[in-house]
Amino acid sequence: MKKQLNHATSSTGELPPPPAKRIRRNKTICCCNSPRPPFLSAHSTFSWFDEDIWSEIAKFLDGKSLIMLAATNRWFRRAIMDDAIWKFVCLRDLQVPSPPPVAFKWSKLYTSAFDGSHSYKFRQQEKHIDWMRIGAFFFDSPVAFLTERLNFPEDLKKEESREKMLQSHGCCFLDNIKPGIWIAGTMQTLDARHIELFLCEGYQNGSWEYEVVGSHDVKKRADGATGSIFDVKHLESSSTAAVFDYKSWIGKQNDWQPKAMIAFHAVAVNTNLQENEGLHVKYQAMRAGPDGEVVSIRISQQLL
């Protein structure tokens, strides 16, 4: 031992410096291949993937990512385009409960809800409109309550004629609403449509048109242009109460940007107005044919 130590010392009798530490080199990141079970031949397909696992992974992806994954190969296309996955993603992104049976694939419903087609004029796709998405709500019952006010009249009677209700209370009931998911937006008006509307032939060929179901004038200064749609069945629910608490969401007096509030079974918009002499309020509905269900509702206001 002593010999070895003496041999390692320098001529000055001092120990040499310790050897420099070896620098570790990071390995280059390489693409990895999924392991292939030994019993599969080189020509085997992706059928050995666990489809249940990919179905669960897909539930955490957005629509664009799902389409990109489905374009990878045939196996992923078959797995990812499963209607159950798109139903889950659609309900998740719209934040609504599961509706009654629908007439279209959920992948198509998701596309019509999120592809931006609502931002263009009907049958004039080259003309853009200033349409702002509010969100989605849900009709459990076939009766809607429409109003241009944000307080519920206690003395309201459904037996009153629509014209009388509009003149005295600024509201009305609308029957034969198509149940299910509705998507709401605003373009200086409250615009709501059933999620299936854009996919229906009657809408696409223009045979379904809006009709005026009621109108009235507010012959005094209006602080704001307001429109609200409620599912009658849930008028007194706790979530709907947030819509009637308008002071919490309509914005300050000098804020001219439209404000909106959406609940599970209701939606409302408000735009503060400058000096005016009143409003003309119009309620419109689109039906799926002459005697069909209501599939779209609009509440609009014009200054007098």
- Measured CA to CA in angstroms, residue 99 lies from 29, 102, 221 at distances of 46, 8, 41
Do 94 and 113 form a contact (C-beta atoms < 8 A)?
yes
For the whole prediction, is pTM greater than 0.85? no
**What's the pLDDT score for residue 54?**
86
Task: List pLDDT tens digits, range 253-274.
Answer: 889 888 999 999 999 999 999 9
The helix/strand/coil state of 110 is helix
Do 141 and 237 form a contact (C-beta atoms < 8 A)?
no
> Which two tokens mark 188?
């200086």
Do 15 and 9 form a contact (C-beta atoms < 8 A)?
yes
Task: List pLDDT tens digits, range 63-112.
Answer: 999 999 999 989 889 889 999 999 999 999 999 999 999 999 999 999 98
Task: List pLDDT tens digits, range 37-70.
Answer: 444 444 444 444 577 888 889 889 999 999 999 9
- Measured CA to CA in angstroms, residue 258 lies from 76, 184, 185, 231, 298 at distances of 43, 13, 11, 22, 16
